[in-house]
Amino acid sequence: MLRLPVFGSKSPTSIEELVMAIAEPGARIVAGGTDLLPNLKHKLHAPTTLVSLDRVAELQRITWDREAGLLRIGAGVTLTQLAEDAEVSKNFSSLSKAAGLVASPLIRNMATIGGNVNLDTRCRYVNQSEFWRSAIGGCLKSEGDVCHVVPKGRSCVAAMSSDCVPVLISLGAHLVQVGPEGRREVAMADYYHSDGIAHTHCQPGEFTAEICVPIAKTPARAAYGKWTVRKSIDFPLISVAMHFALDRDAADATITEARICLGVLAARPKLLKVDALVGLRLNDPTTAELVGELCFKQGKPLDNVPYEAEYRRKMLRVFASRALRDLLA
C-alpha cells in the first residue's frame, strides 16, 4: 500500500494554539486531508508536523454578518455542510451547487471550504507517485527542472482545480488570513497568482480562517458549470462561474455588472473581461451566445489535465452558455 511519510502531529483547539503550531518550521496545516494526504502519499511534500484544524470549533461555523453585509464561512466548514445549508443555497445557489459538485459525497463529508480554496494545483505529470515521477525525471513542481505541458516553459502551469474558487471570485468574496502578524483580508481575485508551484499569496505561518461572501445589495443571479467525465469522483476538466448584478429581479432584467471566472486553465483562476455584457438583457439569446464566445476567446486550456485542450476549450463555450440558460430555467 501507499504509505504516508513519517511526520508528527498537533491538534490545537483554538485559533491561538493553531497560530503557534503552524509557526513551527516544517509545520503544515491539514483540514479534510482529501487533497493533502494523497499528495503526501505521493511524497510531494515532507512536512515535519501536520497541524490539524479539525478541533478548532471557531472555524466550523457559518454566520450571517448582516452588519457587515457578509456571509462568513469558517474555513473548517465541510463542503457537505456548505452544500446542504438551506440559507446558503437560497442566497448563493452557485456556491451551494459548486460545493455539492466537488469530487464525491464522502470527499465532501471530509473536505473543508478552507482546504478547497487552498487546493493545490494539479497536473497529470505531478499528481502521481514518486516512482512514476522518477520515470519522467520529475518536473518544475516536483523533482525536475522541465515542464512537460509547455516544452521549454519556465513556470509551472499546473491547474487550479477547485470548484468553489471560481464561484467565490465571481461572487466577489474575500479571505480572512490569520498568522503570526495577526489577521488580514485579501480579495480572492487577488489571492492567486500564476505560479503553479505556489499559486496562492498565503504567507508563511499563515492560514485561511474565514471565507467572506458579500451579500448582494441589488438583484443578482449566479451560475456554475463544469465538465467531468464521470458524474462523481473526478476533478473538473473545465469550470466556469458567473455572476450578474441586475437592474431588477427578473429573467429579462438588464445586466448592470458581470463577473465570469474560469478554473482549470493554469495555476490562476481567470477573471474574464466581460464589459460587453453590461447593458444586455439576461434572457436575450444573444447574451448566452456572447457569454460562450467570451469564455472561448479568453479561456485557453492546456494539456495539464486529461482530455484534449482543444476540446475543452470548445466546451467552455457550450458549458458557459448552458450555465446561463439553466439560470433562466
Q: Residue with C-alpha cell 467531468?
A: 228
Nearer of residues 257 and 293 to other proteins, judged by Cβ: 293
Q: Does 318 bind other proteins (CB under 8 A)?
A: yes
Q: Does 328 bind other proteins (CB under 8 A)?
A: no
- Grid coordinates belonging to 130: 514518486
Q: Does 104 bind other proteins (CB under 8 A)?
A: yes
> What per-residue string of b and e applies to 267-300 under the rule 16 or more CB within 10 Å gives b?
bbbbbbebeebeebbbeeeebbebbbbbbbebbe
Q: Does 26 bind other proteins (CB under 8 A)?
A: no
Residues recorded for the chain: 329
Tell which one of 8, 26, 180, 204 touches other proteins (CB under 8 A). 8
Tell which one of 12, 22, 29, 34 touches other proteins (CB under 8 A). 34
Tell which one of 63, 109, 218, 286 touches other proteins (CB under 8 A). 109
- Grid coordinates belonging to 254: 438588464
Task: Specify the DSSP element, H or E, that contains 61.
Answer: none
Q: Do 51 and 18 meet the contact criterion of CB atoms below 8 Å apart?
A: yes
- Minimum CB separation from other proteins for residue 40, in Å? 8
Q: Does 38 bind other proteins (CB under 8 A)?
A: yes
Q: Does 5 bind other proteins (CB under 8 A)?
A: yes
Give how many residues touch other proteins by CB under 8 A. Answer: 54
- Minimum CB separation from other proteins for residue 61, in Å? 17
- Grid coordinates belonging to 285: 439569446
Amino acid, single-letter form, for residue 95: L
Burial of 100 (0-12, 13-18, 19+ CB in 10 A): middle
Residues that bind other proteins (CB under 8 A): 1-9, 11, 30, 32-34, 37-38, 41, 50, 52, 54, 103-107, 109-110, 124-125, 128-132, 134-136, 148, 227, 229-235, 306-308, 311, 314-315, 318-319
